[in-house]
Amino acid sequence: MCYHSSQRFAMINYLLNIDKKYITDMYKNAPHGRYELYKTDRDNTALILWKMQPYHNISMHEHEAKCAFLVCSGRIREHSIKKGEHDIGIYTKGDTGFIDKNEKHSIMNTNDNFSTILHLYMKKIELQNNF
């Protein structure tokens, strides 16, 4: 999928259906790179994943990420393992985050067990709208 900036904005606005100013601010700070829209196999959780570009002007932790994500609908769970401690965060509609390339902070589907990485089990959504 390849879209112009205005089409990307329209797609995000359409999917989230939330405050326009929030979307504008989020989009201005979004990683500049290729992205794809996915839907999980097990529920209606929808995500936009941005493929990170090298040397983007963001923090070191974010720079090391495989991609950024934006939750469009549903809920996803992050299972982070740091020095034997389990940190679990819930992401819902409108939330953003990063998937680390070392996969120590893997984004998980709430319906999956913690041994399955969500983004390996997603399927692409084909939108009916002409953006």
- Encode pLDDT of 22-70 as tens digits: 545 555 555 554 555 555 545 555 666 655 444 344 444 444 445 556 6
Question: What does the alpha-carbon distance between residue 118 and residue 11 come to, in Å, rounded to a whole number?
Answer: 22
Question: What does the alpha-carbon distance between residue 31 and residue 62 come to, in Å, rounded to a whole number?
Answer: 10
Token pair 């985050």 in the structure block, residue: 97
Closest CA to 37 of 29, 27, 45, 26: 45
Report in angstroms the alpha-carbon separations of 20 from 4, 60, 75: 18, 29, 21
Q: Is there a contact between 107 and 80 (Cβ–Cβ < 8 Å)?
A: no
- Encode pLDDT of 59-114 as tens digits: 444 444 455 566 666 666 554 434 344 444 566 666 666 555 444 444 443 333 22
The pTM of this model reads 0.42
